[in-house]
Structure 1
Amino acid sequence: MNPSTALGRVLVDELVRSGVREVVLSPGSRSAALALALHAADARGELRLHVRIDERSAAFLALGLAKGSHRPVPVVTTSGTAAANLHPAILEASHARVPLIAITADRPTELRGTEANQTTDQVKLYGDAVRAYVEVAAPEVVPASAAAWRAVVARVVGAAVGRTGEGPIARPAGGPVHLNVAFREPLVPDAEDVDGPLPAALAGRPDGAPWRRPAPVTPEPASTLPLGPRTVVVAGDDAGPAARMLAEEAAWPLLAEPSSGARNGTSPIATYRLLLGLPELADRIERVVVFGHPTLSRPISRLLSRDDVDVVAVGSAPYTDPGNRVSAVYAAVRAEARDESAWFDQWKRADAATLAAVEEIVLAPAPGLTSAMGFPVFTPPLNGWQVARIVSQDVPPGGQLVVGSSSPIRDLDLMAVPYPVGQRRMITANRGLAGIDGMVSTAVGAALGRRSDEGTLALMGDLTFLHDSNGLVTGRSEPEPELTVVVVSDNGGSIFATLEQGDAPYAAAFERVFATPTAVSIGKLCRAMGVVHRLVTTSDELEEALAAADGLRVVEARVDRADRREIDLQIRRAARLH
């Protein structure tokens, strides 16, 4: 067995022993030893291999798989620009703390700096965005023991899931890691070494256990927050149920983003972004308890930056602190007592009144008409808020919704009705850096990684969809997800219409440099890729299309963005106390 084959097979074997069950591969010559070892492991049923031709798409697929499965997922590439194409997904994984493992094949170290083909400096290519950088190289001869190689895998997986590193305040702050593997020729094995048992010198533990058993993580005890000042709980991306539980325990308003994992039960305030514009409520806030990574709205950022508000963070570092106002950080918290004042009731009354006003503006139900599913039929034309409401309602218990950035997640933030507790609906988004790139691939990965019989919905804008349309390109042998991608299609970037750039002084430049209409036929694009496509223009057509989910499909919801800014202004003025 040649050294590159030995190294590739040992690394894959130890990844399986360490709990890796999904791997994404983009083909290349230098990574051949890993590719063949992964294919053999897939054939044995030890893991599931996903092959993609585009490394950037492959990396976001791995990101989605890690989000959907809650396990570390490697993405394997060859050397050169292939490795560089992983960087966007690694940055997202870093800020969102997703256990993405970048395994990049490299040339032997002696070729660095020689301008040899596809050779660049891949050492610490991703800088501080990764939790650890580890390098291993195929030697001139196969070593007498593979212990060092297996220890490398243990270190990599441990760093990805957060069992190594310094200073976690609560749960370990895992994230992406980079394993750079220098292979030397011959790059492919002899025929007898493609599969079969490893030689005794290279074999792992006889019981199939990982080389290094991770120590169990002991949760820190919860700290008690005094009832004290008037408090709201902010739940950002990946906050988890702890935010909801605290809000319910203390009777505090819960300002929860859609991807927080906390927007269920009776505590969430759906229209919190609008109510933060009412001085009668916002100015009375004295303390904010922050969970997760809140980045969705400017009103929340302004609230966290106020010098008259005590900001408390819960969870592991780094925590969100745009105004450098965090005064205390806790691993976990519980309330000293229940707030028996009228504070929460005031927020709930205002929320109900404001939501009713918003619905009157954007939903406009046709009098007396309901769909076959019992939902109101909205009068045409279809708009983004209607699409968000319908998609939100369509997520079944045990189902999953993946949401793109820009307008769709903001529309969902306003229109999503909180789900009952315990029904295990998962709402996820790439909110680490909140970019639009890689969303199709992320959604495919999340659908493939989700351990549920229910399918996955994805909601995104047309520019987001087009930016990663390569995510639909798969080989005939690849696993197919149960995924319906709902594309809010308005031929451009409507989010900019609601920002400063959408104002009248910039109208001459707006369409070209902000809205960027493409006039791409999404239907023809889907057909070219062999993906089922359906165009809908009304609410009942959308509901009918969602009810017919089967395999990978794209539902294009055609909307008009001409009045987006005007309607957004009406919504901002809809906030009221009762």
Structure 2
Amino acid sequence: MTGSTECARVVVEELISFGVREVVLSPGSRNAPLSYEIFEADKIGLLRLHVRIDERSAAFTALGLAKASGLPVPVITTSGTAAGNLHPAVMEAWHSRIPLIAITADRPAAMINSGANQTTRQRGLFAGHVRAEVQLAGNDLDPRSWRFELHRGLVACSGQRTMIAGPFHLNIAFSEPLVPEPIDGIEEEYREITGLTREIESTDLPAEPLTVIVAGDLPTDDGRRVAEIADRAAVPLLAEPSSNARTAATAIGSYRLLLQSGLADEIERVIVVGHPTLSRPVTALMSRSNVELIIVEPSPEWRDPAMNADRVIARFNIGHPQSANRDWLERWQQADRQLSGRIDELINDSASITGPALARTLLGRLGSDDLLFVGSSNPIRDLDLAPVRADGPAVYANRGLAGIDGSISTAVGIALAADQPTHALLGDLTFLHDSNGLIIGAAEPQPRLRIVVANDNGGSIFATLEQGHPAQLSAFERVFGTAHRVDLGAVAGSVGAAYTKIDELADLDQLLRQPPAGLEIVDVAVDRRHRRTLDQRLNSLAATL
């Protein structure tokens, strides 16, 4: 057995023994030793292989698989720029604390700086955005050392000891020959690796003072626990869509607008769980000097963008609600009912399809057994205005850095990990940015994924920001609106995906009655001409309460 083949086999054995069950691979020559070993492991059912021709798409597919499964998922590339294409997904995984394993094949150390083809400095490539980095060399012929280093990196990736999961960079210098001798297969007995976990006590908080809970991006189970705490304590819950806590009876659907009303001035304590990223009113609330700000974070790395936290605690419970607390909740709920009615009237008043109307139509057809991935920019903010539902779907989003990179690939990964029909709501620019994610080979596991594209022919989110002010309109359309005029039907046809053009929400509602059977693209024509006006009218509603 060659050194490169033996090293690759040890790597695959350790991955499987640690619990890895999904692997995403992009083809290449230098990573061939790993490709052969993964192929053999897939044949005998030890793991499932997903091949993608685009490395960035591969990385976000792995991110989606890890996000939905909670298990570490490797993405494997060859050397050179192929490795660099993993960086956006690694960054997202770092900030989202997702156990993504970036495995990059490298040239032998003697070739670095020689100008050899596809050879660059890959050590430290993702520095600052990985929980661990391990360098192996196939010509070392030291399996014990390989296993030790791999174990260390895998434990760091999983967060078993630190309570902080995140990406792990494994860079392997493979020497020729890169093709193994014929083998029968991989042994099916592997060591079970376990890490040290630690219990963290909950902090019991008194029912008073007047409190709101802000729930940002969270895994589904964590979101449900936050919802249960809020309901038991009768505390208004201001929950973003990907918090997975909006099913609570205490969830305030119009919280983003109510934070601009006089009711927000009475808040005395804010408890923040997860990673809130969607709105400036929430950021302003967390920045106030006259509120007690409590951050809930079990790991030693807490998020406090306002740098204003009074306390950081691992877990929490709130005492039995007093009458004042119940009155406080009722005032929020009453204001929410009034404001929600006005939001409905404003959104339903449009003659054309708007982003908020599209989001609530999609959400209205999905139940508690469904999965929904939501893209950044307007779609997730539009969903944030949709009515709260006790039986809503599990919601996923890339909110670590909130970029539009790799959104299709992430949604594909989620659908494959769950092995069930899945929906994605994306803007047109987000869709086009990762259109390579639609390329899935005929021999690969196929997702049942319906991608609903809010197609407003450009970047309408900028219309709601400073760039959309009338004083800036001379440059807006060219450098922010970025109309593309791409035929999404042609894109769908090029990859063999089903395609439907939607001009009426009633047609979309009818289409959503059936689950996706394969890869589907639903192109919904959205009017962005009045996006800024709609946003201004929505923000002004709370002032009338």
Query: What does residue 175 of structure 1 align with?
Result: 166
Report the structure, 1 or 2, having the larger helix content: 2
- Relative to structure 2, which stretch is displaced further, 217-226 or 491-500? 217-226
Offset from partner CA, 1:287-323 (integer Å, 9 cap, x none): 1000000011000011111111111011124322122
Q: Pick from 297, 302, 320: which aligns with 2:303?
A: 320
Q: Pick from 506, 523, 532: which aligns with 1:565?
A: 532
Query: What does residue 255 of structure 1 align with?
Result: 238
Query: What does residue 59 of structure 1 align with?
Result: 59
Query: What does residue 371 of structure 1 align with?
Result: none
2:331 counterpart letter in structure 1:
Q
Using the alignment, how far apart are the partners of 1:220 and 1:4 within structure 2?
Answer: 43
Q: Pick from 432, 436, 453: which aligns with 2:404?
A: 436
Query: What does residue 385 of structure 2 align with?
Result: 414
Contact 2:41–2:186 (Cα < 8 Å) also in 1: no
Identical-residue share of aligned pairs (%):
48
Query: What does residue 251 of structure 2 align with?
Result: 268
Using the alignment, how far apart are the partners of 1:58 and 1:416 within structure 2?
Answer: 34
Q: Pick from 193, 202, 208: which aligns with 1:228?
A: 208
Using the alignment, how far apart are the partners of 1:530 and 1:482 within structure 2?
Answer: 14
Q: Pick from 308, 313, 317: which aligns with 2:290?
A: 308
Q: Pick from 479, 484, 492: which aligns with 1:526?
A: 492
* Residue 384 (structure 2) pairs with residue 404 (structure 1): no
Query: What does residue 540 of structure 1 align with?
Result: 506
Using the alignment, how far apart are the partners of 1:463 and 1:197 within structure 2?
Answer: 43
Contact 1:24–1:74 (Cα < 8 Å) also in 2: yes
Using the alignment, how far apart are the partners of 2:343 and 2:36 within structure 1?
Answer: 56
The CA deviation at 1:197 is: 4.8
* Residue 280 (structure 2) pairs with residue 330 (structure 1): no
The CA deviation at 1:207 is: 5.2
* Residue 448 (structure 2) pairs with residue 459 (structure 1): no
Contact 1:56–1:88 (Cα < 8 Å) also in 2: yes
Query: What does residue 360 of structure 2 align with?
Result: 389
Using the alignment, how far apart are the partners of 1:294 and 1:213 within structure 2?
Answer: 32
Query: What does residue 177 of structure 2 align with?
Result: 186
Q: How does 1:130-209 map to 2 (within 5 A)?
A: 130-139=130-139, 142-143=141-142, 146-165=143-162, 172-191=163-182, 193=183, 195-197=184-186, 208-209=190-191
Q: Pick from 353, 357, 366: which aligns with 2:338?
A: 353
2:416 counterpart letter in structure 1:
L
Using the alignment, how far apart are the partners of 1:434 and 1:12 within structure 2?
Answer: 32
- Relative to structure 2, which stretch is displaced further, 34-43 or 562-571? 562-571
The CA deviation at 1:447 is: 0.6
Contact 1:382–1:539 (Cα < 8 Å) also in 2: yes
> Where does the alignment leave 5 or more consecutive residues of structure 1 unmatched?
166-171, 199-205, 365-378
RMSD in angstroms over aligned alpha carbons?
1.6
Q: Pick from 273, 279, 298: which aligns with 1:291?
A: 273
Offset from partner CA, 1:535-558 (integer Å, 9 cap, x none): 001111101222232111000111
Aligned with 2:542: secondary structure?
Answer: coil
Using the alignment, how far apart are the partners of 1:478 and 1:58 within structure 2?
Answer: 13
Query: What does residue 168 of structure 1 align with?
Result: none
Q: Pick from 315, 337, 340: which aligns with 2:323?
A: 340
Aligned with 2:88: secondary structure?
Answer: helix
Using the alignment, how far apart are the partners of 1:478 and 1:260 within structure 2?
Answer: 31
The CA deviation at 1:213 is: 2.6
Q: How does 1:37-52 map to 2 (within 5 A)?
A: 37-52=37-52
* Residue 542 (structure 2) pairs with residue 551 (structure 1): no
Using the alignment, how far apart are the partners of 2:54 and 2:264 within structure 1?
Answer: 47
The CA deviation at 1:398 is: 1.7
Aligned with 1:128: secondary structure?
Answer: coil
Offset from partner CA, 1:178-197 (integer Å, 9 cap, x none): 01111101111122x3x435
Distance 1:270 1:478, change over 3 A: same
The CA deviation at 1:380 is: 4.2
1:332 counterpart letter in structure 2:
R
Offset from partner CA, 1:126-180 (integer Å, 9 cap, x none): 011000011111126x45xx33222233222211110244xxxxxx111111011
The CA deviation at 1:363 is: 2.0
1:274 counterpart letter in structure 2:
L
The CA deviation at 1:383 is: 1.6
Aligned with 2:440: secondary structure?
Answer: coil
Offset from partner CA, 1:507-560 (integer Å, 9 cap, x none): 111101111000000111111111111000111110122223211100011111
1:156 counterpart letter in structure 2:
G
Using the alignment, how far apart are the partners of 1:571 and 1:108 within structure 2?
Answer: 59
The CA deviation at 1:426 is: 1.3
* Residue 195 (structure 2) pairs with residue 214 (structure 1): yes
Q: How does 1:71-82 map to 2 (within 5 A)?
A: 71-82=71-82
1:572 counterpart letter in structure 2:
N
The CA deviation at 1:244 is: 1.6
Query: What does residue 374 of structure 1 align with?
Result: none
2:208 counterpart letter in structure 1:
G
Query: What does residue 169 of structure 1 align with?
Result: none
Aligned with 2:103: secondary structure?
Answer: strand
Offset from partner CA, 1:230-282 (integer Å, 9 cap, x none): 11000000152232222112211100000002111201111111001012x11
1:214 counterpart letter in structure 2:
G
Using the alignment, how far apart are the partners of 2:309 and 2:52 within structure 1?
Answer: 43
Query: What does residue 89 of structure 2 align with?
Result: 89
The CA deviation at 1:214 is: 2.1
Aligned with 1:476: secondary structure?
Answer: coil
Aligned with 2:128: secondary structure?
Answer: helix
TM-score normalized by the length of structure 1: 0.91
Using the alignment, how far apart are the partners of 1:320 and 1:306 within structure 2?
Answer: 16
2:194 counterpart letter in structure 1:
R
The CA deviation at 1:228 is: 2.7
* Residue 98 (structure 2) pairs with residue 98 (structure 1): yes
Using the alignment, how far apart are the partners of 2:497 and 2:155 within structure 1?
Answer: 38
Using the alignment, how far apart are the partners of 1:154 and 1:478 within structure 2?
Answer: 29
The CA deviation at 1:576 is: 5.8
Contact 1:274–1:575 (Cα < 8 Å) also in 2: yes
Query: What does residue 126 of structure 1 align with?
Result: 126
Using the alignment, how far apart are the partners of 2:161 and 2:276 within structure 1?
Answer: 26
Query: What does residue 226 of structure 2 align with?
Result: 243
2:67 counterpart letter in structure 1:
K
Number of residue equivalences: 538
Aligned with 1:290: secondary structure?
Answer: strand
The CA deviation at 1:118 is: 1.0
Aligned with 1:288: secondary structure?
Answer: strand
- Relative to structure 2, which stretch is displaced further, 549-558 or 392-401? 392-401
Contact 1:350–1:577 (Cα < 8 Å) also in 2: no
Using the alignment, how far apart are the partners of 1:56 and 1:264 within structure 2?
Answer: 34
1:573 counterpart letter in structure 2:
S
- Relative to structure 2, which stretch is displaced further, 292-301 or 150-159? 150-159
